[in-house]
Amino acid sequence: MSPSLPASEAPAYAPRNYLNAPEKGWRSWLTTLDHKRIGVMFLVATSVFFAVGGLFAMLIRIELLTPGPTIMDAMTYNRLFTLHGVVMIFLFMIPAIPSGFGNFLLPMMLGARDVAFPRLNLLSFYVYLTGAAVALYGMIAGGADTGWTFYTPYSTTTTTNVVPILLGAFILGFSSILTGLNFIVTTHTLRAPGMGWMKMPLFVWSIYATSIIQILATPVLGMTLLLVALEHAFGWGIFDPARGGDPVLFQHFFWFYSHPAVYIMVLPAMAVISEVVCAFSHKNIFGYKAVAYSSLGIAFVGFFTWGHHLFTSGQSAVDAGIFGILSMFVAIFTAIKVFNWTATLYKGSISFKAPFAYFVGFLFFLVFGGMTGVALATVSLDVDWHDTYFVVAHFHFIMVGGVIMAFLAALHYWFPKITGRMYPEGWGLVAAVMIILGFNFTFIPQFLLGNMGMPRRYFHYPERFQALNVASTAGASVLALGLVIVLVYLVLSLKFGAVAGSNPWRSRGFEWDTPSPPPPENFLVTPVITRGPHEYDDSAPDFPPSTAPEPKHAS
Amino acid sequence: MNELMRRMLFLPEQASEYARSVDQLHFFVITTTMIAAAAVFGVAIYFFVRYRRRSDTEPTPRISPRPIHEVVFIGLPLSFFLLWFALGFPMFVSLQVPPKDAMDVYVLGKKWMWKFAYPGGPSSLDALRVPAGRPVRLLITSRDVIHSFFIPALRLKQDALPGRYTQTWFTADTPGRYQIFCAQYCGVAHSTMLAEVVVMPGAEFDDWMAEQRRGLKSAQDSSPVAIESVRFGSSLVGEGERVAAEQGCLKCHSVDGSRHIGPTWLNLYGRAEKLTTGKTVIADEAYLTKSMMEPGADIVAGYQNVMPTFQGKLSPPEAAAIVEYIKSLRTSAARPGPSEPPAYEPIPPGK
């Protein structure tokens, strides 16, 4: 807590903040209703699961170094890729940005004291922990071998213990719904005086769109997973044709949630990027309305594209055509955002810090990953690429290249806000370069493997695929090392990082208009919003006069 | 140009006109994607350098888009996307409409092999023989879970669904042997569910088919038992599978290792079974045959004596066929330990 610099030169560390007020100690954290503490708990929990999922990924990559068994047998491998998918999607990606950063930031960006339903918010966290515990039990008690997609009738006839994992994902869905509900009500009712809809930060717009999907789509997943669990446990004939069911019905149900779920993961990433690009180029967003409305557009059209996962399932050509076209429209909204972010840089004042490095990576990965997605939607190319490593590479470009880059950007950008301390910038850039390069070396070979025809979820593979698999594993090692470096310096910075001061980036985001770390009530005086959220066209002071004056920066 | 792009993108050989036309679209789509990604990235890099921060406090101009900007942002990518779709979708539609004169082949996927049957003709495991230059329609189904029939060289994939037939078709024009994969995850031996397409010159194929129809070349060679009458053209294993299904054996005995009313047949042959009497018996041909005729004689521990006798219901060749079928139900990947080569054996060339 005591900076090494003389107190007069160092930026102040807010002495009374949400970390130590109103109470300290783990009991006050576990019963807290403070959205910031709940957000931090979500961030810690999801980061732990990110590490677990990453460990599974590395084991998978090591196994694929040779065409035959390398370090495990086929059954273990099948369980590992299932757990990798389940942990990364349900335990990390879906909650990480909305429930973690969203919880911490959304009320502050709206100038609110807390979310609309603080108790529901805490419940959401405990529901998440319960779901995670049930899913973890399922993993320890054997683990499923179905893949995270749980395709029937394989999943309803497998001898592995699939029910606990299904129930875990079912419970996790409620956490998602509760958080989404909370954010929607908060956005509607708790905006600070002066904040109209067109003055909301773009982060809020995107999280708001995410919340709509969470509320509307998640129940469908819950229902579907429950049906699979019932069929597996009691032999109901819903999906298994041997008992009069329809196996393709499951795929429709599943993707009706799981395709919008892609946007549950990507929209929050876009939320982060919209903030980062403005803050680090000190520039207003080029097309505010275009970026804001395109979030809603993605949320809406995203519901009508699920059929593009079924092009080879015997779906009619009419369906395939409709879903193909609609998939292209959803990509257009992404394109609008990409162009607007790029145009925002024009005549900006760009500071190339670690969050901005991740933005650069994100931009490239999103364009390439997004356009390969549109390529898959041309239907006939999908017939060749479907269920090959091309698809694996495509969605990892979006999931890792998009979401994890944004998660890391957010982690660095808001680290001073959350902890009141800075991370080491040099190490931040080194790690960012390693992660971005390692990522490319991991997944570009996988695009080529898909072109060669290597199907996904293969334990054995013909020897001609080996060279590219080795390249991919090498890339993944660099990526993993980069992530470990991030973990180490961020943890060290919690204790040894330089004190950041309230607004080290000179950002105009409303969340910076209060000390860092923020006081428990966010703003000492209810802020009155008089300007837009991303305005850098005057040299107004970093701080509104309504709050206590802040000491000058040491820089 | 085609060859260069194909090699750069690591695409496999193109064994049909359809594969070549899909690849043309592939080249166009990937080239556009790379140009777009490079262009966005390049513009961004230029802006980073040109507009790097010189002062921490300097305000920046407020720039807002004119409508024309957003129209271009939407119109430019949309026109490319729709062009891709306009090129790609008709190809997909053509895959749904097989020519009327196409030769039908039934494809059955099951854990973990592919079986091909020609109407009124032979059936074979793991090798799909087709004539070059003639359209072939595949009628695909599955016996257990969803599989996906994937021939990279033909750029073709179609899911095999249980309880339902799906179809696709192709005209392979380059004689050769091309790999078939299962692309839909189907369990522990998913990655060994391989097969081959053997594209033969038309005349050679006709000879092969005629030979099969005459029953001169049935795949009985491997059988150690004298056969009195087996339907021509099918292997003993296939025959055993048919009989087992007809007689209802599979209602109680699973073939995928799952526990059911009777012991599973998977890896049964040669297994040491513990009996209710406490003795242990090796499940060899003798034991398997005896169990069909006198099921109550040696009950495996943990199972009920519920199986009826098949004495008089199964002819000796049929019983032998079932034994051969049970012997064929082995999976190496289900057990830990060193793996064995893929479950299919390539057909010697020229046959």
CB A345 within 8 A of CB A277: yes
What distance lies between CA B160 and its chain's CA centroid?
A: 8
Q: What is the pLDDT of residue B252?
A: 76
CB A372 within 8 A of CB A390: yes
**Distance, CA of B347 to CA of B128 (rounded, Å):** 10
The SS3 of residue B177 is: strand
Within 10 angstroms of residue B174's Cβ, the number of other Cβ atoms is: 14
* Tokens 């500071």 belong to residue: A351
CA–CA min distance A451, chain B (Å): 5
Mean pLDDT over B130-157 rounds to 95
Q: Which residue of B has its CA nearest to A81?
A: B185
Mean pLDDT over A240-258 rounds to 91
CB A432 within 8 A of CB A361: yes
Q: Is the pLDDT of residue B224 over 50?
A: no
CA–CA min distance A332, chain B (Å): 6
- Please report residues of B whose CB lies closer than 8 A to that of A446: none
Q: What is the pLDDT of residue B219?
A: 45
CATH tag for B236-328 (out of 3.30.1150.10, 3.40.50.1100, 3.40.50.2000, 1.10.760.10): 1.10.760.10
Q: What is the pLDDT of residue A10?
A: 59
From the list A523, A499, A497, the residue with the least C-alpha distance to A510 is A523
* Tokens 């260069």 belong to residue: B4
Q: What is the pLDDT of residue A241?
A: 87
**What are the Cα distances from residue A320, in Å, to A16, A324, A392, B284?**
58, 6, 21, 51
> Which ipTM value was assigned to this complex?
0.89
Q: Strands B272-274, B280-282: parallel, antiparallel or unpaired by DSSP?
A: antiparallel
CB B171 within 8 A of CB B133: yes
Q: Where in the sequence is the domain holding A266, given as residue range(s)? A: 39-154+161-512
Q: What angle do CA B277, B286, B283 make, to 5 degrees?
A: 55
Task: Pick the more confident residue, A361 or B234.
Answer: A361
DSSP annotation of B250 reads: G
Confidence of residue B346 (pLDDT cuts 50, 70, 90): very low
CB B158 within 8 A of CB B138: yes
Q: What is the CA radius of gyration of chain A?
A: 23
From the list B274, B282, B276, the residue with the least C-alpha distance to B296 is B276
Contact check, Cβ <8 Å, B334/A75: yes
The SS3 of residue B196 is: strand
The SS3 of residue B22 is: helix
pLDDT digits (tens, 9 = 90+) for B83-99: 999 999 999 999 999 99
Confidence of residue A532 (pLDDT cuts 50, 70, 90): confident
Across chain A, mean pLDDT equals 91
pLDDT above 90 coverage of chain B, percent:
44
Encode burial over B78-106: b for 16+ CB neighbours within 10 A, e otherwise: eebbeebbebbbebbeebeebeeebbebb
Encode burial over A427-445: b for 16+ CB neighbours within 10 A, e otherwise: bbebbbebbbebbbbbbbb
pLDDT digits (tens, 9 = 90+) for A393-404: 999 999 999 999
Q: Is the pLDDT of residue A226 over 90?
A: yes
Task: Pick the more confident residue, A78 or B226.
Answer: A78
Confidence of residue A541 (pLDDT cuts 50, 70, 90): low
Domain spans in chain B, listed from the N-terminal domain onward: 2-55+65-96, 103-214, 236-328
Confidence of residue B222 (pLDDT cuts 50, 70, 90): very low
DSSP annotation of B7 reads: H
CB A310 within 8 A of CB A379: no
Residue A292, in any domain of the structure: yes
Q: Is the pLDDT of residue B217 over 60?
A: no
Q: Is the pLDDT of residue A111 over 60?
A: yes
Which strand ranges, in their side-by-side order, compose the sheet holding B103-110? B123-125, B113-117, B103-110, B136-142, B166-170
CA–CA min distance A437, chain B (Å): 15
Confidence of residue B237 (pLDDT cuts 50, 70, 90): confident
Q: What is the DSSP string of A399-433?
A: IIIIIIHHHHHHHHHSHHHHHSBPPPHHHHHHHHH
Task: Pick the more confident residue, A413 or B218.
Answer: A413
The CATH number assigned to the domain with range B103-214 reads 2.60.40.420
Confidence of residue A543 (pLDDT cuts 50, 70, 90): very low
CA–CA min distance B255, chain A (Å): 13
Chain B contacts in chain A segment 459-478 (CB below 8 A) = 459-462, 468
Q: What is the pLDDT of residue B1?
A: 78
Amino acid at site A527: P
A233 contacts chain B (CB < 8 A): no
Specify the length of chain A in residues.
555
CB B182 within 8 A of CB B190: yes
DSSP annotation of A457 reads: S
Peptide bond into A22 cis (omega under 30): yes
Q: What is the pLDDT of residue B240?
A: 83
pLDDT above 70 coverage of chain B, percent:
87
Relative orientation angle of helices B17-50 and B67-96, to the nearest 10 degrees: 160
Q: What is the pLDDT of residue A11?
A: 72
Q: Which residue of A has its CA nearest to B166?
A: A314
User: Which segment of A233-237, A428-432, B151-155 scores lowest on mean pLDDT?
Assistant: A233-237
Q: Is the pLDDT of residue B234 over 60?
A: no
Mean pLDDT over A31-51 rounds to 96
Taken in order A210, A216, A222, A225, is the CA torsion positive or negative? negative
Q: Is the pLDDT of residue A531 over 50?
A: yes
What distance lies between CA B251 and its chain's CA centroid?
A: 25
Domain harbouring A51, CATH code:
1.20.210.10
Mean pLDDT over B282-289 rounds to 84
- Please report residues of A whose CB lies closer than 8 A to that of B260: none
Give the DSSP H/E element, type plus range, for residue B91: helix B67-96
A235 contacts chain B (CB < 8 A): no
A349 contacts chain B (CB < 8 A): yes
From the list A154, A402, A373, the residue with the least C-alpha distance to A271 is A402
Mean pLDDT over B150-176 rounds to 94
A281 contacts chain B (CB < 8 A): yes
Encode burial over A144-176: b for 16+ CB neighbours within 10 A, e otherwise: bbbbbbbbbbbbbbbebbbbbbbbbbbbbbbbb
**Distance, CA of B125 to CA of B143 (rounded, Å):** 14
Mean pLDDT over B293-313 rounds to 78
Q: What residues have CB less than 8 Å from A6, skipping those under 6 apart? A: none
Residue A545, in any domain of the structure: no
pTM for the model stands at 0.83
Q: What is the pLDDT of residue B226?
A: 36
Across chain B, mean pLDDT equals 83
Confidence of residue B190 (pLDDT cuts 50, 70, 90): very high
> Residue B156 phi/psi, 5° resolution?
-125, 140
Smallest Cβ distance to B190: which of A73, A321, A457? A457
| Total number of domains in chain A | 1
Task: Pick the more confident residue, B131 or A537.
Answer: B131
Confidence of residue B22 (pLDDT cuts 50, 70, 90): very high
Q: What is the pLDDT of residue B336?
A: 38
